[in-house]
Amino acid sequence: MHPCERVGVEFIDNAPLRFTNSVDLAITPAQLFEVLADAESWPRWASVITKVTWTTPEPRGVGTTRVVDMRGGIVGDEEFLVWEPNTRMAFRFNSSSTGALAAFAEDYRIVETPEGCRLTWTLAQRLAGPARFTAFLATPVMNLAFRRFLANLRRYTDQRFATASS
């Protein structure tokens, strides 16, 4: 594992490479937070993720850790910087199996809407090595993938909570 810079939550707004996308969901903020806290749900909508393992016992909060396994053999050791049930969660990578990530963090903000809620997801990173010079080539494809993950999340939550809203 390669150590990543232990950035604070402010990094999410100031990172050199950021992706921010939103999705409207027909579920409550509490239901969305339940999905985001459920290790089994992540591979169902974020297709790059193959497994999520919580490494800190409940109750979860700031300082909670987990390991995320991704396609291509990438592993991220995460620590939560924000844990505000039904409103917001944010985490950073403390280490990664790839040396291309100097710093990495994600932020999930949930706002209640008349139809359910809106999730705004920001992924922030600073790349290392040769990747920092070629990242601009991949950013449109990466952002398309992130938007696809949010569309998958909408389908997943529609199915998961279909009986609850009927």
- Domain 2-165: which topology? Alpha-D-Glucose-1,6-Bisphosphate; Chain A, domain 4 (3.30.530)
For position 164, what pLDDT does the model report? 52
* Long-range contacts, stretch 120-123, CB < 8 angstroms, 24+ apart: 120/20, 120/21, 120/22, 121/20, 121/21, 121/22, 121/23, 121/146, 121/150, 122/12, 122/18, 122/19, 122/20, 123/18, 123/19, 123/20
pLDDT at residue 166, as a whole number: 47
Domain boundaries in the chain? 2-165
pTM of full prediction above 0.95: no
> How much is the pLDDT for 129?
80
Per-residue pLDDT of the chain in tens (166 residues, 90 and over written 9): 999 999 999 999 999 999 999 999 999 999 999 999 999 999 999 999 999 999 999 999 999 999 999 999 999 999 999 999 999 999 999 999 999 999 999 999 999 999 999 999 999 999 888 666 666 667 788 889 999 999 999 999 999 998 654 4
